């Protein structure tokens, strides 16, 4: 089971979008527990140099042609949803960062930044999480170590009032195993922005493309996240949008395009279990845009174990989600701070997995906590389809349970506290 090696998504050398994944367990048959080979700690991936910049202009002052002429850049693509915003290739040999700084202060340029890499927080080579994988089977019981999560948020009671029927949740991630038996019937058409096609499958190529010593460490992340949304909101539809490759790496532009695509194709909730610690102007703009259009963005807080903002979670309008374990004790890996909105279970979370195909696995991370909140939002929206992102946020936050008592040394660092889906649905 070579698959058991998929590990932490992190943001290695460059400011990649960090996805937050943790430990998964794989059990073959009903008995054998198989743990994959550990990833070599500290082996940072080697990302190719950034060769693109993202530029927004004021068309009353300048033109794209004038920018390209001045700086030797060439158009790669216009934004699919933002006016006057372009992805440009820098001239061969040019330093993208330096060029972005120069372009940013040119007349008529409103913003210019490098098209940085992004990754899920779990893909962090300094933090080795082991996926624990279980073979798929109808009726496979949720392991006891994982059952606390569903109880903590009052899911059985919530499901008596809502299962999320009629609400589409987009999972912007590594794709989803499209024929996974747990998910197949819930999936709607999605988009693969890594390969540029309509099949956002969550697959690996068997190669260590980023030369960090771990093969396809990103693959499986999106399937696991989608499986959590499905457990929380089994009546909701899931829209897979692939912006991260099998090494867990994507770009700011791909993430932004994925969010825009989902919002314009019917998603009411967008799950972003990845992020960047770097300059995220484009992501802030995109979150603002889709929020104004009535779409709620839910984002992982990150797995750095400290007060460190990650985008899109920290963007205005997005719901930032931290992680707690049993008893509402906050996870050692979770990011924290005044910018956090809520916390959700994120330790040893049992969900669908793609390696081997059709399996289940357990993992930990703020990437796992985030889809609990996305699923909760779907439960609320099924009851109140016209609710705005701000109204859904208000319901989720006002019904959350404070965690200060369980974490006295971290008072005020986890927003409104741990979500309570039963209370949220009852008050929706």
What is the closest distance, in whole angstroms, from the C-beta atom of residue 375 to Ca ion in the complex?
29
Nearest approach, Cβ of residue 1 and Ca ion (Å): 17
CA distances from 40 to 8, 26, 46, 122, 158 (A): 11, 20, 14, 14, 42
Q: Which of 159, 221, 224, 350 is catalytic?
A: 221
Contact 275, 339 (CB under 8 A): no
Q: Site residues (CB under 5 A) for Ca ion?
A: 205, 207-210, 212, 214, 216, 246-247
Instruction: Name which of 116 and 246 has its Cβ closer to Ca ion.
Output: 246
Q: Which is nearer to Ca ion, 245 or 413 (CB)?
A: 245
Using DSSP bridges, classify how beta strands 74-78 and 85-89 pair: parallel, antiparallel or unpaired.
antiparallel
Q: Which of 173, 202, 304, 328 does the annotation list as catalytic?
A: 173
- Smaller CB distance to Ca ion: residue 85 or 214? 214
Residue 408, helix vs strand vs coil = helix
Provide, rounded to whole angstroms, the least separation between the CB of residue 45 and Ca ion: 6
Q: Which helix (H) or strand (E) holds 392?
A: helix 389-398
Q: How far is the CB of 354 from Ca ion (least distance, A)?
A: 13
Spatial distance between the Cα atoms of 7 and 215, rounded to a whole number of angstroms: 10
State yes or no: is 350 an active-site residue: no
The answer to whether 317 and 269 are in contact (CB under 8 A) is no
Instruction: For residue 367, indicate whether it is catalytic.
Output: yes
Q: Which residues contact 66 (CB under 8 A, 6 or more apart)?
A: 108
Of 3, 186, 367, 416, the catalytic one is 367
Contact call for residues 250 and 118 (beta carbons, < 8 A)? yes
CA distance linking residue 179 with residue 229, whole number of Å: 16
Beta-strand runs (E) in 46-92: 52-57, 74-78, 85-89
Q: Please state whether 17 falls in left (phi above 0), alpha (psi between -120 and 50) or beta.
A: beta
**Peptide bond connecting 356 to the previous residue in cis, omega within 30 degrees of 0:** yes
Q: Residue 314 in 3-state DSSP?
A: coil
Letter string b/e over residues 78-90, b meaning 16 or more CB atoms within 10 A of that residue's CB? ebebbebbbbbbb
Determine the straight-line distance between the first and last CA of the chain, rounded to whole angstroms: 44
Cβ proximity to Ca ion, 124 vs 210, nearer residue: 210
| C-alpha to C-alpha distance for 168 and 236, rounded to whole angstroms | 6
Residue 201 or 270 having the CB closest to Ca ion? 201
Is 208 one of the annotated active-site residues of the chain?
no
CB of 173 to Ca ion, least distance (A): 15
Residue holding tokens 């039963």?
Answer: 422
Cβ-based nearer residue to Ca ion, 213 or 281: 213
Minimum CB separation of residue 148 from Ca ion in Å reads 32
Nearer to Ca ion (CB atom), residue 148 or residue 274: 274
Q: Tell me the C-alpha distance between 28 and 360, whole Å.
A: 10
Q: By C-beta, is 30 or 46 nearer to Ca ion?
A: 46
Helix (H, G, I), strand (E, B) or coil at 57: strand
Rounded to a whole number of angstroms, the minimum distance from the CB of residue 348 to Ca ion is 24
CB of 214 to Ca ion, least distance (A): 4
> Which are the catalytic amino acids?
173, 221, 367
């Amino acid at each position: 089971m070579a698959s058991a090696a998929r590990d932490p998504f992190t943001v290695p050398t460059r400011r990649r979008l960090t996805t937050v994944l943790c430990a998964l367990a794989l059990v073959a048959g009903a008995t054998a527990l198989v743990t994959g080979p550990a990833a070599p700690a500290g082996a940072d991936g080697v990302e190719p140099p950034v060769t693109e910049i993202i530029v927004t202009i004021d068309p009353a002052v300048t033109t794209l042609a004038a920018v390209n002429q001045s700086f030797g850049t060439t158009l790669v693509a216009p934004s699919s949803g933002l006016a006057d915003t372009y992805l440009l290739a820098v001239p061969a040999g040019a330093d993208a960062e330096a060029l972005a700084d120069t372009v940013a202060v040119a007349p008529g340029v409103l913003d210019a930044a490098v098209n940085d890499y992004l990754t899920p927080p779990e893909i962090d080579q300094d933090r080795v999480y082991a996926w624990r994988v279980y073979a798929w089977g109808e009726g496979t019981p949720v392991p006891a170590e994982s059952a606390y999560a569903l109880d903590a948020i009052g899911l059985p009671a919530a499901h008596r009032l809502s299962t999320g029927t009629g609400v589409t949740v987009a999972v912007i991630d590594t794709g989803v195993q499209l024929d996974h038996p747990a998910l197949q019937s819930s999936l709607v058409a999605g988009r693969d922005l890594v390969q540029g096609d309509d099949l956002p499958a969550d697959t690996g190529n068997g190669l260590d493309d980023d030369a960090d010593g771990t093969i396809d460490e990103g693959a499986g992340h999106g399937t696991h996240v989608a499986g959590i949304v499905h457990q929380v909101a089994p009546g909701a539809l899931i829209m897979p949008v692939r912006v991260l490759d099998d090494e867990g790496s994507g770009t700011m532009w791909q993430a932004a395009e994925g969010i825009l695509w989902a919002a314009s194709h019917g998603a009411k909730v967008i799950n972003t279990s990845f992020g960047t610690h770097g300059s995220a102007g484009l992501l802030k703009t995109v979150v603002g845009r889709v929020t104004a259009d009535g779409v709620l963005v839910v984002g992982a807080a990150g797995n750095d174990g400290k007060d460190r903002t990650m985008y899109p979670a920290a963007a205005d309008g997005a719901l930032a989600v931290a992680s707690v374990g049993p008893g509402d004790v906050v996870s050692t890996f979770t990011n924290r701070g005044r910018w956090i909105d809520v916390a959700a279970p994120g330790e040893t979370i049992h969900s669908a997995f793609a390696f081997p195909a059709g399996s289940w696995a357990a993992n930990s991370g703020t990437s796992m906590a985030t889809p609990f909140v996305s699923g909760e939002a779907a439960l609320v929206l099924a009851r109140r389809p016209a609710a705005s992102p701000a109204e859904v946020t208000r319901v989720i936050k006002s019904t959350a349970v404070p965690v200060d008592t369980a974490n006295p040394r971290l008072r005020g660092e986890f927003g409104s506290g741990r979500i309570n889906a039963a209370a949220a649905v009852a008050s929706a």
